[in-house]
Amino acid sequence: MKTNYKKNSSIKKRYFKISCDVFTQDIIFCFNMTTSDILKVLKKYNALNDHNKAVFAEDSPPNVCGTLYFLEVGYLIALKWDDNRFRTSLSCAIHEITHLTHYILREARTPLQEETEEVYAYLMADLTLKFLNKVY
């Protein structure tokens, strides 16, 4: 049986999906994957369409610790995860979750200002907790 678990890693899975229920958004996280691997994950989640193929038209994701991609519906965060650099890997994931929070709320026409600060904080905490629950 083929599995999506990565050997010798604290990460449970090489990819997973979480949902942002209030804003009806799905977010796919992929770890240490090539572009061709990411396209297979999109196919598994029935998200492989012309728009999403065009997003991943290059050979491999950029050589950075993480990247947030805008899918036709939802988002995908590609992360380079290194257990030997746990703090760096985790801070990179939180960095991308922060971008994600801003994009989701901007799309919902909720600008970051004093009156909406708690909405941003709660959404970021919710997304981070869902991410951590899947990772560990």
| pLDDT block averages, 10 residues each, the chain of length 136 | 42 84 90 89 89 73 78 90 88 95 88 85 95 90
Written as one letter, the residue type at 76 is: L
pTM: 0.84
Provide the pairing of β-strand 25-31 with 75-79: parallel
C-alpha distances (whole Å) from 70 to each of 1, 9, 55, 66, 80 are 32, 27, 8, 13, 18
pLDDT of res. 73: 86
Res 96: pLDDT:
95
Structure tokens at 10: 């604290």
Give the model's pLDDT for residue 61: 54
